[in-house]
Structure 1
Amino acid sequence: MQDQSGTALDGARDLVESLCLLAERLTEGALASVMLLDGEGVLRLFAAPSVPEAARERLDGLRPGPESGSCGNAVLRNDSVFVSQTLRDPRWAGLRDLAEEFTLLACWSTPIRNSYGNVLGTFALSSFTERAPNREQVRLLESIAAVIADVLFQEERDGRDRCFAAALRAIDEGVVLTDAEQRVVYANPAFLRLSGYELADILGKNCRFLQGPDTDPATRQSLHDALAQGRVFHGDILNYRRDGTPFWNALNISPVRDAQGHITHFVSVQRDVTLSRRTEQELRLSAQAFETQEGILITDAQRRIVKVNQAFTRVTGYTLEEVRGLTPAILQSGNQDADFYEAMWREIEREGAWQGEIWNRRKNGEVYPEFLSITAVQD
């Protein structure tokens, strides 16, 4: 591990201190701190933006041990340590005077680990009141410790992991990683752009925070059932951005299992499909409008027929298969001469439209009068 004076860690200090301040706001009445092991196995204070300077000096250089407080024990055990009464708990025997002097009456600490599970330091919250952490506070501790490890120790990952992380940052589709309880532990920049949230806003939260008043209950239930049963989910769901704007989200969620087959995470790939959904809706409306009681015929720029509606078939007797690729000349009755049609097309090219009465011929040879409206479609 690089010593904490190294440039890589110094460059991340501001971000880590911001995470500490976030944790303090979310827990109220607590001080956050990050301690990292140096090369001699001693905990050095890396970030503690709200801890008094005198207390910082006392904490820096803490050696892990059974009486060295919550952080020292967390490193010793490689496990979270939640002390609710520092003035009476034997694990704080070596730091009792510190707890009394600065009124640190409870302290919760969780290890910061590298990708191999080795302890590299601790993230802790010290409270001015005697209390144990609730479930949400435990999740907050674990989530922020994971993010701090991600920020500080990326250089310890092998090349494959670094390439994978770079790919997640580079792709345009939103990627969210949650734990087995569906709490967010990672989101790539594309998802943050898609949703409008900051990473600190969503860590530890269930992705249900994206749902809103018009989210379809049936889709919600289908999503819930798939994840509860450890199945893959594919589907579109109406979600809401941070500013309240609704958007259609195409979800692909897959469970990640360990060697024993237990679910450890869920990976979600998300894409904004609002525009395509809107286009589909407009196409459906256009299709409905196309099937009116009036005959409609569409040609390409070379006047070859590409589409007709059912009303056209009822009026003329021709189906689409019979007229596709032909020109409307198949309907000519002979009652109008070539000059009539030349003048009609000149007006269409000049004005973009033509209307008038005309005599046409049905498939069975019957001649009939009709009111014709032609409109040119520009690119």
Structure 2
Amino acid sequence: MSRDAPDPPPKNGPWRRVWARLGWGGGLPSGASAAAHSRLEQYLAFSKAVGQVMEHTDQESILLESLCTLAVECTPVTLAWVCRVEPDNSLQTLADAGDTAYLDSFAERRSGLPADHGPLFRVWQEQQPLFNEPFSEGPLRTAWRQNTRPYQLRSMAVLPIHRDHQPWALLVLYDRDQRGFPQDCQVVLAGIARRVSEALEDWIGILRERVAREHQLLLGTALQAAEDGVVLTDADRRILYVNASFSRMTGYTLAEISRFGLHHLQGPRTDPRTLTEIDEALCGQGFFNGRLLN
């Protein structure tokens, strides 16, 4: 039996703009219209709302918090939780929403919840989603099973989330219905987890590019300020960069020395043996450290 749709969020609540973009006029359907919404329609609305969030943010924390909040507000899910399995096999919370008192009931809540060889640990190891795991049987530890009773949690869905092509977190949803995640809803949830993973993959790529640009800017600033003359070339010895000290020492700008080549600086006292040593070092993928008089 499906639980009724949740009450609409406050008129000025944090998700008002999301609902408005979805054409719901600032709130979820209520009353008779809510009862007409099937469980699948609710999960499709959840998927659409998550997509809207991903279009408007590239921040990991906002995405995860939105994922949990929307799961609770759009679907019959009682508790949504994103956690990560740490090296010591504890479960670290990244985001949660709904009846989080269940998670707070564990003494280890602040330092990382305990993990056994139950559903969460199994999904983490096998990287395959799991649905409708019963709480009354199976390998769950006594503490996990006993803590569910006051909250009437009867089924769960656990889906792996990836980042940087590695297992990264788990999306865990709890429902009071013993068969809270039918096959059609499982397909929708698997699609949501996949899209979240793809977004995280894209964002970490963007972050790496941003860090690389910042490093390049920092390197360029340091080289430009260096007192020694600096020249950067590619493998074909095309000149890519000269710093200000080089131009002051030689009188050549980047455009000029690029046109002439570094050999233009050589004079009658330039040692040809040293030039040969430099060539051999570069051809052998090695390095040269020495002096050359130009």
Q: With the length of structure 2 as denominator, give the TM-score of the two structures.
A: 0.43
Higher helix share: 2
Q: With the length of structure 1 as denominator, give the TM-score of the two structures.
A: 0.34
Q: Which has the higher contact order (CA 8 A, sep 6+)?
A: 2
Higher strand share: 1
